[in-house]
Amino acid sequence: MRSATAAILVTALAGLSCKDGGPDVNLLSLEDDIELGAQLHDEILSNPDEYPLLDPEAFADAYEHMYRIRDAILASDDIRYAEEFEWQLYILHDDEVLNAFAAPGGYIYVYTGLIRFLEREDDLAGVLGHEIAHADRRHSTQQLTKAYGVSTLLDVLLGEDQGMLADIAASLVNLRFSRADEAESDEYSVRYLCDTDWAADGAAAFFEKLLADGGLELPEFLSTHPSSESRVEHIRDLADELACSTEPNPDAQYQALLDALP
């Protein structure tokens, strides 16, 4: 059972909803992020047909490569909640899906289709940095608040509306972030990678590949507002401004990761 303060907040905010737009808000606590993320992850685990997670034990080599990239990013001084959040990372086995998404509390999910689409480990690091930023900057709960209203989310956290978990989990896959959220995640992807051996503009290389392939629909997780061209420019300009390396990591092991996938 949650505290009396949370119960009072549910009552006080019962009529508040951001479903119809408005500014990004986050009236949930950090602890709420963590608890909501854990509940949503349990919901994802309970539905393997919809979320075909690769078994971390059966595909230990693939996960080892993903964890190596994740841990290097999380070592950045720009991560606010490196210790507080779970930072669990999972691979979803669907080669037809070009996507990744983040749940509150630091749960990151990446489809095999996205991993196979990318050409360099630097590019994957850029995308992971982008998703880690969405979680660390608490964009996920901001946008879920806009979609469902804070009252509904707090009811879920209080255990009073568990039927909404499946709907909220499904919305994470195609959650649309605001222009400000996307710009901030692009920025922090650069900042995180600037502290690593990967090219700091890895996310830009991903956009460029999408543009070069033409006809591919931009994944929902990177589809909001700014054009791919403008985001490439923004990412590259920031890397230059911060004097970050944009040279590919010579020690990358991307082919080994690809070989470890089913």
Domain with 172 in it: 25-260
Tell me the whole-structure pTM to 2 decimals: 0.86
* Residues in the chain where the model's pLDDT stays below 70: 1-26, 214-228
Tell me, yes or no, whether 31 lies in a domain: yes
Lookup: tokens for 48 = 């393997």
Q: Which helix (H) or strand (E) holds 108?
A: strand 107-111
Tell me, yes or no, whether 193 lies in a domain: yes
Tell me, yes or no, whether 212 lies in a domain: yes
User: In what side-by-side order are the strands of the sheet with 88-92?
Assistant: 88-92, 107-111, 100-103
With 0-12 CB in 10 A as exposed, 13-18 as middle and 19+ as buried, what is 11? exposed
pLDDT of residue 206: 80
Report the sign of the C-alpha dihedral through residues 48, 164, 88, 238, in that order: positive
pLDDT of residue 39: 95
Contact 108, 128 (CB under 8 A): yes
Tell me, yes or no, whether 159 lies in a domain: yes
pLDDT of residue 13: 32
With 0-12 CB in 10 A as exposed, 13-18 as middle and 19+ as buried, what is 3? exposed
Tell me, yes or no, whether 52 lies in a domain: yes
Q: What is the DSSP letter of 22?
A: -
- Give the CA count within 13 Å in the CB-facing half-sphere of 181: 26
Tell me, yes or no, whether 1 lies in a domain: no
CB atoms closer than 10 angstroms to residue 75? 12
pLDDT of residue 19: 37
Query: What total number of domains does the chain contain?
Result: 1
Contact 251, 199 (CB under 8 A): no
Report the sign of the C-alpha dihedral through residues 123, 126, 132, 137, in that order: negative
Query: Position of tokens 């006080």?
Result: 12
pLDDT of residue 159: 83
pLDDT of residue 160: 81
pLDDT of residue 31: 94
Tell me, yes or no, whether 8 lies in a domain: no
pLDDT of residue 257: 98
Alpha helices in 137-195 (DSSP H): 139-148, 150-157, 165-173, 179-194
Tell me, yes or no, whether 98 lies in a domain: yes
- Residues in the chain, overall count: 262
Which residue type sits at 107? Y
3 state DSSP class of 207: helix
Whose CA is closest to 150, among 14, 246, 24? 14
pLDDT of residue 25: 56
